[in-house]
Structure 1
Amino acid sequence: MGWTRFRETETAFASAVQARFAQYKHHVLATLRKDGSPRVTGIEVEFQGGELWLGMMAGSMKAHDLRRDPRFAVQANPGPDAEMADGDVRISGRAVEVTDPAVMARFASLVEPPEPFHLFRAELTEVVRTGVENDELVVRVWRPGAALRTLRRGNGDDGVREDA
């Protein structure tokens, strides 16, 4: 499922996630190397035309990784606040390479990436936001075809409670 469908099904949650990514330019992308081990690299993500885009320099190792195995996770930059006041946001999914010259030209006109570049559209498999509310750790999890789940754990709690 693409960003537009996610935003249509979970409007407020999608807006909060997008706003969290908009706070900083650089984020962290996790891909899988040829041997299956993780690779973590910096990336700029773009929300344009109803999609979540991952653009990267031509020939980059992360592009090679995604061409071989499209699974990824991208974590919003936590920023300088050690308290994580704005929460922690992660999007996981599959990267679909885009080679259509018109789509790439439209993206380049909006973002002005270094050329040449690779462009991938994100198909979402999970979106997670973790934060603190009223002294509770609150984790919101969305997956395609399922309702948004909210899990809570207070300081000293023995377990996790799920909102009904």
Structure 2
Amino acid sequence: MSPAADSNSGMGEEPLIEDFGQRIGRAMGWPPMAGRLAGVLMLSPAPMTLSELQTTLGASKGSASEMTRLLVANGTVERVKVPGVRQAGYVWRDDAWSGCLQHQLDQNRQLLELARTAQERGLGMAEVQQARLRDMYAYYEFMVGHLRRLLDEYEQLQAGR
């Protein structure tokens, strides 16, 4: 077991990790295991392999693998090469909160593109349907603009620390 895995034993971190599982999982729409995995990696001082995450969380290989992919996709965790270890390691990104916000921005950009396309395709529809499509477009245009500014502001704040 690596020092990262050892650091999670006997340190009173289990209640905090369970809290992450429940609260982050629920707030982000993730399964509790993803929240627990996020908590483990956030508190780990070193990269952890999938095997170590499995053992620490008491998770199956498939579950640990699926949850790491989810966290990587959500911008909070990254896969890294650990010197002297054959398996890839996973770490909590130093810029995880920027990564999380970037993921939200990317999602909203995709939905803005859908709204633009839907609005074009809905030109022959009844006015009530067109109005809904315009509202969808206006909402995502608003969200993309504000999320972009929010991300820029947060990154400037972080750079000043």
TM-score (norm 1): 0.26
TM-score (norm 2): 0.26
Larger Rg: 2
From the two aligned structures, give the one with the greater strand fraction. Answer: 1
From the two aligned structures, give the one with the greater helix fraction. Answer: 2
